[in-house]
Structure 1
Amino acid sequence: MFFCGHDGTITIQEQDPADHDARLGSQLGDYVVVARVADGAMGRVYEGRHLETKQQVAVKVLHEDVARDQVAVERFKREYETAEELDHPNVVDVIDFGETGDGSWFMTMEYLSGTELTGLLEDEGAIAPHRMVRIFCQLAAALDHAHSWGFIHRDLKPDNVFLVAGEEGDVVKVLDFGSVKLQMETGPKLTAFGTTLGSPYYMSPEQAMGKLDVDQRTDVFAAAAIAWEMATGKVAFEGQNVAQILMRIVNEDPPPPSSMSPKYPAAFDDVVLGGLRKDKTQRPGSVGELADRVVKSFGLDGDHGKWAAASLEEVARALSVTTPPEPAPLAPAAPAPTAPAAAPTAPSAPTEDTRRATEPIGMHASEIHGGSKGPGVGLIVGIAVAALLVGGALAYFFLR
Structure 2
Amino acid sequence: MTIREPDIRTGSIIADKYVVERILGRGGMGMVVAARHTGLDELRAIKFMLPHVLRDATAAERFRREAQAASRLKSQHVVRVYDIDRLPTGSMYMVMEHLRGRDLKALAKARGVLPVREACTYVLQACEAVAEAHASGIVHRDLKTANLFLTTDPRGEPLINGPRFRRRQAHR
User: What displacement does 1:133 show?
Assistant: 2.2
Is 1:175 aligned to 2:168, yes or no? no
Partner of 1:34: 21
Pairs aligned (count) = 164
User: What displacement does 1:112 show?
Assistant: 0.6
Task: For 2:53, give the aligned amino acid.
Answer: V
Q: Deviations over 1:358-383 (max 9, x none)?
A: xxxxxxxxxxxxxxxxxxxxxxxxxx
Residue pair 2:34, 2:46 contacting (<8 A) in 1 also: yes
Residue pair 1:117, 1:161 contacting (<8 A) in 2 also: yes
Structure 1 runs, 4 residues or longer, greater than 6 Å off: none
User: What displacement does 1:71 show?
Assistant: 1.3
Is 1:160 aligned to 2:147, yes or no? yes
Is 1:23 aligned to 2:8, yes or no? yes
Question: Which runs of structure 2 are paired with 1:380-399 in the superposition (5 Å)?
Answer: none
User: What displacement does 1:62 show?
Assistant: 1.2
Larger-Rg structure: 1
Separation in 2, partners of 1:57, 1:123 = 26
What secondary structure, in the 3-state scheme, does the structure 1 residue paired with 2:28 have? coil
Structure with larger RCO (C-alpha < 8 A, sep 6+): 2
Percent of matched pairs sharing the same residue:
31
Cα RMSD over matched residues?
A: 1.9
Partner of 2:119: 132
Q: Deviations over 1:45-64 (max 9, x none)?
A: 11111121111001111112
Task: For 1:174, give the aligned amino acid.
Answer: G
Structure 1 residues 124 and 78 mapped into 2: Cα distance closer, same or farther (>3 Å)?
Answer: same
Separation in 2, partners of 1:54, 1:168 = 22
Partner of 2:30: 43
Which of 54, 61, 69 is the matching residue for 2:41? Answer: 54
Q: Deviations over 1:15-55 (max 9, x none)?
A: xxxxxx83332222632323222211211111111121111
Larger relative helix fraction: 1
Partner of 2:88: 101
Partner of 2:3: none
TM value normalised by structure 2: 0.86
Is 1:144 aligned to 2:148, yes or no? no
What secondary structure, in the 3-state scheme, does the structure 2 residue paired with 1:32 have? strand
Q: Deviations over 1:145-177 (max 9, x none)?
A: 111101121211111111103444310113232
What secondary structure, in the 3-state scheme, does the structure 1 residue paired with 2:39 have? coil
Unaligned ranges ≥5, structure 1: 1-20, 188-400
Task: For 1:38, give the aligned amino acid.
Answer: G
Partner of 1:391: none
Residue pair 2:140, 2:163 contacting (<8 A) in 1 also: no
Structure 1 residues 30 and 96 mapped into 2: Cα distance closer, same or farther (>3 Å)?
Answer: farther
Separation in 2, partners of 1:165, 1:89 = 11
Larger relative strand fraction: 2
Unaligned ranges ≥5, structure 2: 1-5
Question: Which runs of structure 2 are paired with 1:248-263 in the superposition (5 Å)?
Answer: none
Residue pair 1:154, 1:181 contacting (<8 A) in 2 also: no
